[in-house]
Chain A
Amino acid sequence: MSLRTPLARVLGRGSAKEGVHHWLLQRLSSVALVPLSIGFVVSLIALPALDYFTVVGWVRQPGTALGLILFILVGARHSQLGVRVVIEDYVHAAGVKMLALVLSNFAHVLIAATAVFAVLKVALGARP
């Protein structure tokens, strides 16, 4: 048993024992994204037109709405994990790195929330 605090470990002196979680989540989200992303693209190909009423009718189908929400949520999480590693690898100045990580995290949460809200509004709202 170590008497060192977790903070002491992460301050440049070793692992915070969080890496496996990141690794596993990146893999699990990638596995989930295989059917979700292919389904999204196939669904786009199957759309006959891109006018407002066709597209709204498409989003209002329960399968589409659920697929879009899952795709966006898992995709945003996967993207957040990936962008995080890129920032950690290439941004070396500590302050800039922290700022970039925080901005990236905020942006990904905002993107996911906006998309889910938009899909739910169309899917559950009044028919136009």
Chain B
Amino acid sequence: MSERPLSPHLTVYKFKYTLATSILNRLAGLVLSVGLLLLVYWLAAIAAGVRAYAQARELLSLGAFKFVYALLLAAFVYHLAAGLRHLVWDTGRGLSRASAQRSAWVIAVASLVATLILIYCLLRPGAYAP
């Protein structure tokens, strides 16, 4: 049972941006899994009452969290775009090399634009009334 060959073999592939889109999708998924913790903390704080929520809000409004939220938005948008690309692949379409390279650019540009829009909507100063 030991010494069986185990995939994935990260070191044997030549690096290409299509490889980066795959690894980034995994990373984005992991980031979102951690983001789930933040969401649950926020929901639990709402349920815990007005004083607990005020405390949680103070913590969650710290400047460092702006960076975390921006990262979460980027991860969300990218994971969504790359996930839709995977669903298209599952139908057997878009699997040729040229097609996969084109869709890699499409999801990269689309998620960059969408991330900036979401950052503007949710994280700009004064996005929410105090």
- Write the residues of chain A forming the contact surface with B, with a CB cutoff of 8 angstroms: 11-13, 27, 30-31, 33-34, 37-38, 41, 44-45, 47-52, 55-56, 59, 68, 72, 75-76, 79, 82-83, 86, 89, 92, 111, 114-115, 117-119, 121-122, 128
Contact = CB atoms under 8 A, between A and B. Distances in A.
A81 to B, nearest CB: 10
Nearest to B84: A34
Contacts of A41: 76, 118
Q: How large is the interface on B (under 10, 10 to 19, 20 to 34, 35 or more residues)?
A: 35 or more
Contacts of B100: none
B118 A121 contact: no
A122 B87 CA distance: 36
Q: Is the interface of A mostly helix, strand, loop or mixed?
A: helix
A57 B43 CA distance: 13
Contacts, number: 91
A116 B117 CA distance: 30
Q: Is the interface of B mostly helix, strand, loop or mixed?
A: helix
Contacts of A37: 76, 80
B7 A114 contact: no
Interface in B54-103: 54, 57, 76, 80, 83-84, 86-87, 90
Interface stretch (B13-21, B34-42, B104-112): B34-42
A64 B129 CA distance: 20
B122 interface: yes
B46 A47 contact: no
Given A41-B118, A118-B43, 12 more contacts: A30-B86, A30-B87, A48-B128, A51-B130, A72-B36, A79-B33, A82-B29, A111-B37, A114-B43, A115-B44, A118-B40, A119-B47
Contact of A128 (B6, B49, B121): B49
A79 B90 contact: no
Contact of B46 (A79, A111, A122): A122
